[in-house]
């Protein structure tokens, strides 16, 4: 039930993200100029997505910095969810971009425009190289951070977009097929939307205090009820404080005649949660069997 993930030195990770931002901003300017000169909607679409890559990396960079701040009187759980908020912003931005590209492609189908194939191929080739460099800079970090993964997936989509734009440029050069430009734009948009909707659910789940996807609440409750001295467990709440940090609070009813062992029973439950269930934050309200809650729903408010 625990999470396995790799760690990257925070300062080294910050440097990688900063380099990726600079590279993507420079590429965006080149692509927009080239797209206007070539008359290619696909190249401009790729530039817009590349610009969103740079923005997503900036958001991810700032969120990483904020997330490392210690807990204080205002944010008693700490600032770790800044990275989750950043991921939500980035995926939402991707969805907006995808919908915008579909609209622009539809307009181009109605009114095809002349396109400079050679310029498209050259600029898209440069863009693909930059995309691969950026992906290499953020790949390792994306394995352990939902925030960086959102930025990384921005970049992966852009790399695929660059490949598609190159294919479009070649088709225009060989066959003068102008409709390939909006077709490629639709493919880029479709991939962006599919990718974003697939990933955004997990982000929303954390922000909505949903239970970790790899933990079953009924199973967790059954494990706790099997602890020696526990008569019942109810009002159980299980959620993700951050991407890799699960939390639990619950009402625990102590067996009749075992109240003198309550502290030891609580210690066993906490150890079980930490070592077996990978739950790092546990809050337990102990109740003696004679004065337990009258409302003993397993999942309930309070």
CATH number at residue 228: 3.30.70.1350
Q: Do 102 and 234 reside in the same domain of the chain?
A: no
Following DSSP, what letter does each residue of 212-252 receive, concatenated?
A: PTT--HHHHHHHHHTSTTEEEEEEEEEEEEETTEEEEEEEE
Is 298 within a domain? no
Q: Do 235 and 131 reside in the same domain of the chain?
A: no
Residues ≥6 apart with Cβ < 8 Å to 136: none
Is 297 within a domain? no
Is 72 within a domain? yes
Q: Mind listing the pLDDT tens digit of every residue in the chain (302 residues)?
A: 444 444 444 555 677 777 777 777 777 777 788 778 777 776 777 677 677 777 777 887 888 888 889 989 999 888 988 988 988 988 898 888 889 888 888 887 887 766 667 777 887 788 788 778 777 777 777 777 777 777 777 777 777 777 877 887 788 888 877 788 788 888 888 888 888 898 899 999 999 999 998 888 899 999 999 999 999 999 999 999 888 889 999 999 999 989 999 999 999 999 999 999 999 899 999 999 888 887 778 776 65
Lookup: tokens for 105: 């492609």
For 229, list phi and psi in degrees, rounded to 5. Answer: 100, -5
Residues ≥6 apart with Cβ < 8 Å to 290: 256
Give the CA angle between residues 205, 211, 217 to the nearest 5°: 150
CA gap 47, 51 in Å, rounded: 6
Q: Do 33 and 108 reside in the same domain of the chain?
A: yes
CB 54 within 8 A of CB 21: yes
Lookup: tokens for 120: 């498209």
Number of domains in the chain: 2
Identify the helix (H) or strand (E) that includes residue 161. helix 146-175
pTM of the model: 0.74
């Amino acid at each position: 039930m625990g999470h396995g993930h790799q760690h990257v030195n925070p300062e080294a990770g910050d440097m990688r993200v900063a380099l990726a931002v600079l590279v993507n901003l420079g590429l965006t300017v080149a692509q927009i100029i080239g797209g206007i000169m070539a008359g290619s909607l696909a190249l401009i679409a790729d530039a817009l997505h590349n610009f969103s890559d740079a923005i997503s990396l900036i958001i991810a960079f700032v969120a990483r910095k904020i997330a490392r701040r210690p807990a204080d009187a205002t944010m008693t759980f700490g600032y770790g969810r800044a990275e989750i908020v950043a991921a939500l912003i980035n995926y939402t931005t991707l969805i907006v971009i995808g919908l915008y590209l579909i609209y622009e492609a539809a307009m181009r189908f109605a009114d095809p425009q002349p396109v400079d194939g050679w310029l498209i191929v050259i600029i898209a080739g440069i863009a693909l190289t930059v995309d691969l460099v950026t992906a290499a800079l953020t790949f390792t970090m994306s394995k352990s951070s939902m925030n960086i993964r959102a930025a990384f997936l921005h970049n992966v989509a852009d790399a695929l977009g660059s490949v598609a734009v190159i294919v479009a440029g070649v088709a225009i050069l060989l066959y003068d097929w102008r409709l390939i430009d909006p077709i490629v734009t639709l493919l880029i948009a479709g991939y962006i939307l599919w990718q974003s909707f697939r990933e955004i659910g997990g982000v929303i789940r954390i922000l909505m205090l949903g239970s970790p996807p790899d933990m079953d609440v009924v199973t967790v409750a059954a494990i706790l009820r099997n602890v020696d001295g526990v008569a019942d467990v109810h009002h159980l709440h299980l959620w993700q404080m951050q991407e890799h940090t699960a939390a639990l609070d619950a009402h625990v009813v102590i067996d009749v005649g075992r109240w003198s062992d309550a502290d030891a029973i609580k210690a066993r439950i906490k150890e079980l949660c930490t070592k077996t269930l990978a739950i790092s934050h546990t809050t337990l309200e102990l109740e003696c069997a004679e004065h337990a809650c009258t409302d003993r729903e397993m999942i309930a408010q309070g």
